């Protein structure tokens, strides 16, 4: 099992792709830049797991469904919190802004199936990886995740401001092997980070201190591209080994 980055930014420009990661071959975490995945890889995807319904995380959902509707005979499951799915249904795939793909049948079944992700229980996903959703401090139905495979756990913050429960749940796991944490703004924009329920390096450092004594690799994502250089100069997070996720980066569950 692995996490492989397709896009890792919290906004887009010529250099940066919106958030989308492969969790193994059959699940996507968010779909911001999912349309950039080659067709033969996209054909293997059964589920998109959404952290929340902000545009940078869902933008390409409509375009991969557009491609799937004419190329395959099985549905794509879109999974997320109740609030997140409700926003996607009401404001995106609503038959106005983009088609309501639940009304388009392929071999008698809708090409899009929404599935509610329960909080704070382990849910088995395609590819035998388990996921636990934990509410975090961010709008649009946001959840952070714990992913568990072969008794190894990766903590994935999603978009969030300072939060507690996710790290507490992570500390209850026997073998956390990596943390993926958002850092959207530089320290000079700490007040904007706080106001928009995001993190800057100093806030992320405080969050990682909640992980207790786990000396695990930390992977940073979701930076606003125009602050990339400034953020990278500030990424010494509590002395933990830190890497910046970019397209092609991989985290292995080993
Ligand atoms: Zn975002
Ligand atoms: Zn967001």
Question: What are the domain boundaries of the chain?
Answer: 2-249
Class of domain 2-249: alpha beta
What is the rounded distance in angstroms from the CA atom of residue 146 to the CA atom of residue 132? 5
Name residues with Cβ closer than 5 Å to ligand 2, which is an ion: 54, 159
Q: Is-above-0.95 flag for pTM?
A: yes
38 pLDDT exceeds 70?
yes
65 pLDDT exceeds 90?
yes
Q: Is 43 helix (H, G, I), strand (E, B) or coil?
A: coil
Average pLDDT value over all residues in the chain:
95
Residue 56 CA, ligand 1 centroid: distance in Å: 5
30 pLDDT exceeds 80?
yes
Cβ-Cβ contacts under 8 Å for 200 (sequence gap 6 or more): 183, 184, 185, 186, 187, 189, 190, 193, 231, 234
Mean pLDDT within 42-55: 97
Residue 199 CA, ligand 2 centroid: distance in Å: 11
Whether the Cβ atoms of residue 207 and residue 184 lie closer than 8 Å to each other: no
Tell which phi-psi region holds residue 86, choosing left (phi > 0), alpha (psi between -120 and 50) or beta: alpha
What is the rounded distance in angstroms from the CA atom of residue 24 to the CA atom of residue 154? 13
The strand pairing partners of 155, in sequence order, are 146, 179
pLDDT at position 238, please?
A: 67
What is the DSSP pairing of strand 76-80 with strand 122-125?
unpaired
68-82, 159-173, 230-244: range with lowest mean pLDDT: 230-244
Residue 107 CA, ligand 2 centroid: distance in Å: 35
192: part of which helix (H) or strand (E)?
A: helix 190-195
Unique residue bearing structure tokens 């997140």? 84
H helices within 26-81, ranges in order? Answer: 39-42, 55-58, 61-69
What is the rounded distance in angstroms from the CA atom of residue 165 to the CA atom of residue 136? 8
pLDDT at position 71, please?
A: 86
Most confident of 107-111, 175-179, 193-197: 193-197
Instruction: Tell me the pLDDT band of 254, cut-offs 50, 70 and 90.
Output: confident
What is the rounded distance in angstroms from the CA atom of residue 10 to the CA atom of residue 54? 10
Supply 72's token pair: 């395959």
Instruction: Tell me the pLDDT band of 67, cut-offs 50, 70 and 90.
Output: very high
Whether the Cβ atoms of residue 186 and residue 231 lie closer than 8 Å to each other: yes
pLDDT at position 213, please?
A: 64
């Amino acid at each position: 099992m692995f996490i492989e980055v397709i896009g890792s930014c919290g906004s887009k420009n010529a250099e940066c792709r919106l958030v989308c990661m492969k969790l193994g071959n059959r699940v996507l975490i968010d779909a911001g830049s999912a349309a950039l995945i080659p067709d033969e890889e996209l054909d293997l995807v059964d589920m998109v797991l959404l952290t929340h319904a902000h545009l940078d995380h869902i933008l390409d959902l409509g375009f991969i469904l557009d491609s799937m509707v004419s190329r395959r005979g099985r549905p794509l499951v879109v999974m997320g919190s109740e609030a997140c799915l409700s926003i996607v249904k009401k404001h995106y795939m609503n038959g106005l802004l983009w088609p309501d793909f639940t009304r388009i049948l392929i071999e008698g079944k809708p090409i899009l199936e929404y599935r509610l992700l329960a909080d704070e229980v382990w849910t088995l996903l395609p590819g035998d990886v388990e996921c636990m959703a934990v509410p975090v401090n961010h709008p649009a139905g946001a959840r952070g995740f714990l992913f568990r495979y072969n008794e190894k756990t990766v903590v994935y913050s999603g978009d969030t401001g300072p939060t507690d429960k996710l790290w507490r749940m992570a500390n209850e796991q026997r073998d956390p092997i990596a943390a993926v944490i958002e850092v959207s703004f530089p320290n000079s924009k700490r007040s904007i980070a706080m106001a928009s329920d995001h993190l800057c390096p100093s806030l992320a450092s405080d969050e990682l201190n909640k992980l207790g004594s786990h000396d695990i690799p930390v992977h940073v994502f979701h930076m606003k591209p125009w602050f990339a250089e400034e953020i990278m100069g500030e990424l010494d997070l509590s002395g933990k080994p830190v890497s910046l996720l970019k397209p092609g980066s991989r985290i292995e569950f080993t």
